[in-house]
Every structure is written in structure tokens, then in C-alpha cells.
């Protein structure tokens, strides 16, 4: 992709997602995710009704009249976008691929964060860490994140969420809001997720295509595994084949839901032909 085309794509996503974050999500995001705690703001004279436990005894003794400490919520947060860029994200039967929706959702969340003066970071993963951008503030930084989401070419097409979660635990020492965006066609990550969720506020956003839920009857079809590259002939007319595929798909979905629920993390499902706007807004409202 040449520079002119890339900038055009970045600008298109910026216009769409910034409008969403400015007008829809910024207030919901602010109320859904709390600050790290209460931080000292100032001292002022005691007023009737103030909690006596907030009296600053040193200042009170100095001025010979009661003063209280005033605290406010420490609003500044850090958001980490953990995005799956394995081969299966380049799948889609509508006008868009899963990776396109992952990019739009990530951009919307990132703009919502900088509206609140929060930091945003990015971790792109396959079965390895493909790219890590440390959290920073500002529009220029968010535009870099969008560029990487559009343009970055992974070295591997496979998936290993466990590896990504372990890496996240090592690099993010302070509490962060973590959004994990993937189709979650993976298993065995529940223990790593529990460790991350103990420290961070985690939400899994599962993006999928309707064709992944059920195989239509199309006869003998060559099917390419997006992650291994292997091509096999599949008899889609076979009821057994379709049922086995359906069972495998539901197993992945059940594992995702169980792992995230047990770790105390949030869950969002969004199909690529559905409105992710409604899904995000509903999730923020429930949290708020």
C-alpha cells in the first residue's frame, strides 16, 4: 500500500470513528471506567457536614481552626488495545473482513480514551508479539495506532492468546483498561487471562462472520485454513460434516465466554454485518 492510499484510509477511519467517539462514546466511556483511586486535591476550611475523618490535623493546629483534606477521583487512565492479527482475521463474507471491524472498533475506543486525556497503547499478536506500542496521549499517537492496524503485516498467521497475555502481564505494571479484540479461535488461555484480570480491567470483544456459525450446503468445496495455509476438500453436503463443524465452533464460543466470565472480565460479541456501535454503547451503559 503506497503512502497516499494509506493516508486516505487512515483519514476515512478517523472521520468515522472520531465522530462516534465524540458524540456517542466519550461520556459513556468516562462513566464506565473509573480512575485508579482518590488523589489529594487541596485543603479548605471545615464546613458543617464534613467528615471529621478528613480533618488535616497539621494544618488545623497551624491555623488554630479546623481544615479538611479534599480528594478527587484520579481520572487519568491507560487503555491497552490487544489486537489479534493472525490469518483468521482476514476472513469475511460481507463487504468487510474481520480485521476491518477490529480496526474500526480499536480506533473508536482509542479516540474515546484521548477525549478523556487518557493514554492508549497497542499490542498486535499472532502466535508471537508482532508489535508493541507503549501507551501515550494525543491524536498523533492514535493516528499512528490506526496506521499500524491498517498496514502492519504479521510474520505469523497462527494464534496464541496465552503468549500475548503473558507478555501483557510483564510489560503493564500499573492497572489498565484492556480490550482484547479477536475471533477467539483459540483455547488454553484461561489461566493467563485470570492473572491479567486480577490486575487490569479486561474486556473481550469477539468479532465473527455469520458464515463461521454454520457451513452452507455448497457441495465439494476447497477450504483454505487461514492460519496454516493448508487447502482441503470439504463435502458441505454432508450433514455430519456440518454438525461437526458447528460443534467445534460452539466449543470455541463457549470456551471464550466461560474463560472471560470466570476471570471477572467483560464480554462483547459482534458480527461483522451488525452494528458494533450498538454493542459497545450497550456494554458501556450496563457498566455505568
68 and 176 both lie in a single domain: no
Choose the weakest-confidence range: 13-22, 131-140, 158-167, 187-196.
Answer: 13-22
Q: Which residue has the higher pLDDT, 192 or 116?
A: 192
pLDDT of residue 52: 85
Instruction: Provide the domain limits for residue 61.
Output: 38-73
222 and 249 both lie in a single domain: yes
Q: Which residue has the higher pLDDT, 234 or 260?
A: 260
Q: Residue 195 maps to which CATH number? A: 3.40.50.410
169-222 pLDDT tens trace = 999 988 899 999 999 999 999 999 999 999 999 999 999 988 888 787 888 877
Contacts of residue 286, defined as CB under 8 A and 6 or more positions apart, other chains included, come to none
Single out the residue in 23, 52, 73 at which a domain terminates.
73
Phi-psi map region of 169: left, alpha, beta (phi>0 left; psi -120 to 50 alpha): alpha
Q: How many domains does the chain have?
A: 2
104 and 46 both lie in a single domain: no
Nearest in space to 127 (alpha carbons), one of 97, 162, 151: 162
Q: How far apart are CA 267 and CA 248, in angstroms?
A: 20
Cell of 250: 460452539
pLDDT of residue 115: 83
pLDDT of residue 96: 78
133, 135, 141, 147: CA torsion to nearest 10 = 30
What pLDDT band is residue 51 in, cutting at 50, 70 and 90? Answer: confident
Single out the residue in 73, 96, 124 at which a domain terminates.
73
Phi-psi map region of 253: left, alpha, beta (phi>0 left; psi -120 to 50 alpha): alpha
81 and 68 both lie in a single domain: no
Q: How far apart are CA 30 and CA 41, in angstroms?
A: 20
112 and 213 both lie in a single domain: yes
Q: How far apart are CA 34 and CA 129, in angstroms?
A: 29
With a cut of 70, say whether residue 24 has pLDDT above it.
no
101 and 236 both lie in a single domain: yes
63-105 pLDDT tens trace = 999 998 876 555 578 999 999 999 876 555 556 788 999 999 9
93 and 156 both lie in a single domain: yes
Whole-model pTM: value is 0.81
pLDDT of residue 130: 97
64 and 145 both lie in a single domain: no
Single out the residue in 73, 92, 127 at which a domain terminates.
73
pLDDT of residue 102: 94
Check if the beta carbon of residue 177 is closer than 8 Å to that of residue 33. Answer: yes
88 and 144 both lie in a single domain: yes
65 and 143 both lie in a single domain: no
Check if the beta carbon of residue 67 is closer than 8 Å to that of residue 45. Answer: yes
User: Is the dihedral angle over the CA atoms 73, 79, 96, 252 positive or is it negative?
Assistant: negative
With a cut of 60, say whether residue 37 has pLDDT above it.
no
137 and 172 both lie in a single domain: yes
Contacts of residue 2, defined as CB under 8 A and 6 or more positions apart, other chains included, come to none
Question: In Å, how far from its chain's centre is CA 4?
Answer: 28
Q: What is the mean pLDDT of residues 57-63?
A: 91
Q: How far apart are CA 31 and CA 281, in angstroms?
A: 12
201 and 241 both lie in a single domain: yes
Phi-psi map region of 229: left, alpha, beta (phi>0 left; psi -120 to 50 alpha): left
Amino acid at each position: 500500500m503506497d503512502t497516499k492510499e494509506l493516508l486516505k484510509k487512515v483519514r476515512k477511519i478517523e472521520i468515522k470513528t472520531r465522530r462516534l467517539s465524540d458524540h456517542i462514546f466519550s461520556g459513556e466511556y468516562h462513566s464506565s471506567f473509573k480512575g485508579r483511586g482518590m488523589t489529594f486535591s487541596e485543603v479548605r476550611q471545615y464546613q458543617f457536614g464534613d467528615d471529621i475523618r478528613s480533618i488535616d490535623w497539621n494544618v488545623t493546629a497551624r491555623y488554630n481552626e479546623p481544615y479538611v483534606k479534599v480528594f478527587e477521583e484520579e481520572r487519568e487512565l491507560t487503555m491497552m488495545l490487544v489486537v489479534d492479527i493472525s490469518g483468521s482475521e482476514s476472513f469475511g463474507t460481507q463487504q468487510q473482513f474481520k480485521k476491518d471491524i477490529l480496526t474500526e472498533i480499536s480506533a473508536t475506543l482509542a479516540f474515546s480514551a484521548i477525549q478523556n486525556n487518557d493514554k492508549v497503547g497497542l499490542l498486535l499478536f499472532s502466535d508471537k508479539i508482532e508489535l508493541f506500542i507503549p501507551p501515550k496521549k494525543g491524536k498523533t499517537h492514535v493516528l499512528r495506532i490506526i496506521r499500524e492496524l491498517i498496514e502492519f503485516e504479521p510474520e505469523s498467521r497462527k494464534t496464541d492468546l496465552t503468549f500475548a497475555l503473558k507478555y501483557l502481564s510483564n510489560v503493564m505494571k500499573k492497572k489498565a483498561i484492556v480490550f482484547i479484540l479477536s475471533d477467539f479461535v483459540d483455547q488454553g488461555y484461561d489461566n493467563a487471562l485470570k492473572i491479567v484480570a486480577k490486575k487490569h480491567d479486561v474486556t473481550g470483544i469477539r468479532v465473527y462472520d455469520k458464515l463461521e456459525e454454520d457451513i452452507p450446503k455448497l457441495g465439494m468445496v476447497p477450504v483454505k485454513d487461514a492460519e496454516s495455509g493448508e487447502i482441503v476438500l470439504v463435502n458441505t453436503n454432508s450433514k455430519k460434516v456440518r454438525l461437526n463443524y458447528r460443534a467445534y465452533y460452539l466449543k470455541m464460543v463457549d470456551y471464550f465466554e466461560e474463560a472471560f466470565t470466570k476471570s471477572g472480565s467483560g464480554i462483547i460479541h459482534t458480527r461483522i454485518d451488525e452494528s458494533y456501535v450498538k454493542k459497545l454503547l450497550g456494554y458501556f451503559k450496563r457498566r455505568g
